[in-house]
Amino acid sequence: MRLIPRALCGAARAAWRESFPLGGHAVARWFPGHMAKGLKKMQSSLKLVDCIIEVHDARISFGGCGVGFIIIPMVTELIGSSYRYHRGESLEYCIMVIGVPNVGKSSLINSLRRQHLRKGKATRVGGEPGITRAVMSRIQVCERPLMFLLDTPGVLAPRIESVETGLKLALCGTVLDHLVGEETLADYLLYTLNQHELFGYVQHYGLGEACDDIVSVLKRVAVKLGKTQKVKVLTGTGDVNVIQPNYPAAARDFLRTFRSGLLGPVMLDRDTLQSHPSAGAQGHRPAQTDP
pLDDT tens readout for residues 20-68: 988 767 666 666 667 778 888 888 888 889 999 988 887 775 433 334 4
Are 98 and 152 within 8 A, CB to CB? yes
Which of helix, strand or coil describes residue 54? strand
Q: How far apart are alpha carbons 121 and 102 in whole angstroms?
A: 16
Could you give the angle at the alpha carbon of 172 between the alpha carbons of 290 and 115, nearest 5°? Answer: 10
Contacts of residue 218, Cβ cutoff 8 Å, sequence gap at least 6: 183, 186, 245, 247, 250, 251, 254
Are 187 and 250 within 8 A, CB to CB? no
**Mean pLDDT in each 10-residue stretch from start to end of the chain (291 residues)?**
45 73 70 76 87 85 47 88 83 89 84 85 54 64 90 80 86 86 95 94 94 96 92 80 92 96 90 62 40 36
Q: How far apart are alpha carbons 230 and 182 in whole angstroms?
A: 21
- Taking only the tens place, the pLDDT of each residue in 69-99 is 588 888 889 888 888 887 888 889 999 998 8
Which amino acid would we find at residue 190? Answer: L
